[in-house]
Structure 1
């Protein structure tokens, strides 16, 4: 995730931490998911692999996936800002929010 996206998330009222902040670049997705569960955090990512976490992690995780190509930081900021404004109140339970240029899909994970 481009560091510039951090500002957008912060401006929407969220505490934001990146892997870079914690010197955790290269951490395995499953390990990151476990940390976010412990910290009650939401994963916001451009990496579709987070949609394929093992079932036990998926059932507990809150994931926002931005699917965009090419990865234009300006467009990512716009999509994320609009998606988070619309779905913030629903991100308190395990879910997947998939944001594309054409559509946004929200699924509660059970």
Structure 2
């Protein structure tokens, strides 16, 4: 896998904190589903020849590959969790008639 972002993947990079949170929610949901499916396959194929195990494993491997790609895209996107404070020039302090500053 390349370290650069493919053009079609740029559309998946979250642009806001909300989108970033939604991406994490999606990744967590996919991860949970992959875990569930792996457990289901393990239970069904344990100790017996289950004809659907091979195709189920292929689907699971595809899901893991997609999940890994989403995680890579999410990690490469740098969304600041707090908005940076605007850089402003400090205002000049007016001089009082007595020569003292505020």
What TM-score range do you get, normalising by the shorter chain? Answer: under 0.3
TM-score if structure 1 supplies the norm length?
0.20
- Whose helix proportion is higher, 1 or 2? 2
TM-score if structure 2 supplies the norm length?
0.21
- Whose strand proportion is higher, 1 or 2? 1
